[in-house]
């Protein structure tokens, strides 16, 4: 059975590219363009990995990560951040 990877990104081209790459590598994937759709799927099945875009129109990726980490069901789920941001600093973090 293939390991399942969820991908959340609002850019269809990026979503397709990541999906194709992971599928070719032998993973099962499920793609989402909205946080609410991903949240519903997480209640159905826990993926082996979440690829998470940080800049989404309906949610902040860092806040999504915090929300997932606050839930015991998802505390150990690996999350890979995907972003077009130039820097690595969290804009919500105080200097």
Domain CATH for 65: 3.40.50.2300
Residue 61 lies in a domain: yes
- Distance separating alpha carbons of residues 59 and 12, to the nearest angstrom: 17
Q: Residue 23 sits in which domain range?
A: 4-82
Q: What is the pLDDT of residue 7?
A: 98
At residue 95, does pLDDT exceed 50?
no
Q: How confident is the model at residue 62 (pLDDT cuts 50, 70, 90)?
A: very high
Asked if 35 contacts 58 with a C-beta cutoff of 8 angstroms, the reply is yes
Among 74, 67, 11, CA closest to 42: 74
pLDDT in tens, 2-33: 999 999 999 999 999 999 999 999 999 999 99
Q: What is the pLDDT of residue 50?
A: 98
């Amino acid at each position: 059975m293939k390991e399942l990877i969820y991908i959340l990104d609002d850019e269809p081209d990026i979503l397709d590219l990541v999906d194709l790459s992971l599928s070719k590598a032998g993973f099962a994937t499920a793609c989402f363009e909205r946080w609410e759709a991903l949240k519903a799927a997480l209640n159905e099945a826990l993926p082996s990995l979440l690829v998470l875009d940080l800049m989404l129109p309906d949610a902040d990726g860092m806040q999504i990560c915090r929300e997932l980490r606050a839930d015991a069901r998802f505390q150990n789920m690996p999350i890979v951040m995907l972003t077009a941001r130039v820097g690595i600093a969290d804009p919500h973090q105080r200097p």
